[in-house]
Amino acid sequence: MAIDPHDTAHHGEAARPRESRRDPEVVRTGLQHWLAERVTDPVVSDVHIPESNGMSSETLLFDARWDGTDHRLVARVAPADSAVPVFPHYDLDAQARVMSAVAAATAIPVPHVHWTESDAAVLGAPFLVMSRIDGIVPPDVMPYNFGSWVTEATDDQRATLQDGTVDVLAQIHTVDPATAGLASHRCAGDAIRAHVAAQRAYYEWTTRTGPRSPLIERAFTWLDAHVPDDPAPAVLCWGDARIGNIMFDDFEPAGVLDWELAATAPAKWIWHG
């Protein structure tokens, strides 16, 4: 039987491999006290913690009402100190800046960021609060191409999904990196060098207590010797471009998510590299 892409039972939550152990009532109380410092007489309700969650962060869903208006919200929570980290430093403020810049400069459906909070006392870790977007996500587990609403779609529907996703990438590359807080690498050559250096630092961090990879180290040596001196302007790069990070409505992008790896990059390498 074909999966209805509008069926909320198939919103891809099973694609997230980490379960939350938070108490929804504790979350609700904490968020309501926190919101009371920012808006007048908020009421937080319907806290929903998905049965499984992301590996690099945790997602909490909740409703809130203030000033006579209902808000459907998402709290993206940085990994706790006790979690196995995916990043050496989880920068929610940087994600918020990039998302706000993309929303201001393009028609890309990026969730509106309301606030960021660096104090871990509220939810046990820093978090950001953004608007909630309805849609469905191509699942990761099992991968969407192994059998899902994507594979069960018609060719025309998949073409709509493909073209809309490529348009998202094209729009991202029109955003001035300076407005996204990524102005340190203005030309493509510098952006490539910075990216390779960052990946090398990440490799060193991930292998600090585990085995190293001669293949990866040879690749870094080759890259160091072949980085082009490209004076072309660098552009904003999403950094995690895949349909599993997009919510879809009727096969059109409805929400573009997960901006943890945003960086500057050379446009022609993005398309042809």
Quick one: 16 and 116 in the same domain? yes
Question: Which residue of the set 63, 230, 240, 249 is catalytic?
Answer: 240
Q: How confident is the model at residue 230 (pLDDT cuts 50, 70, 90)?
A: confident
Tokens of 232: 């072309």
Q: Quote the mean pLDDT of the chain.
A: 86
> Could you tell me the pTM of the whole model?
0.82
Domain range for 106 is: 8-131
Nearest-angstrom CA–CA distance, 119 and 186: 33
Say which range, 8-17, 214-223, 231-240, has the weakest mean pLDDT: 8-17
Give the tens place of pLDDT for each residue, 151-191.
999 999 999 999 999 999 999 999 888 888 877 667 888 88
Quick one: 50 and 164 in the same domain? no
Q: What is the CATH number of the domain that holds 165?
A: 3.90.1200.10
Task: Supply the pLDDT for residue 194.
Answer: 87
Quick one: 21 and 120 in the same domain? yes
User: Residue 238: inside a domain, yes or no?
Assistant: yes
Asked about 240 being catalytic, the answer comes back as: yes
User: Residue 246: inside a domain, yes or no?
Assistant: yes
Task: Supply the pLDDT for residue 266.
Answer: 79
Q: How many structural domains does the chain have?
A: 2
Q: How confident is the model at residue 1 (pLDDT cuts 50, 70, 90)?
A: very low
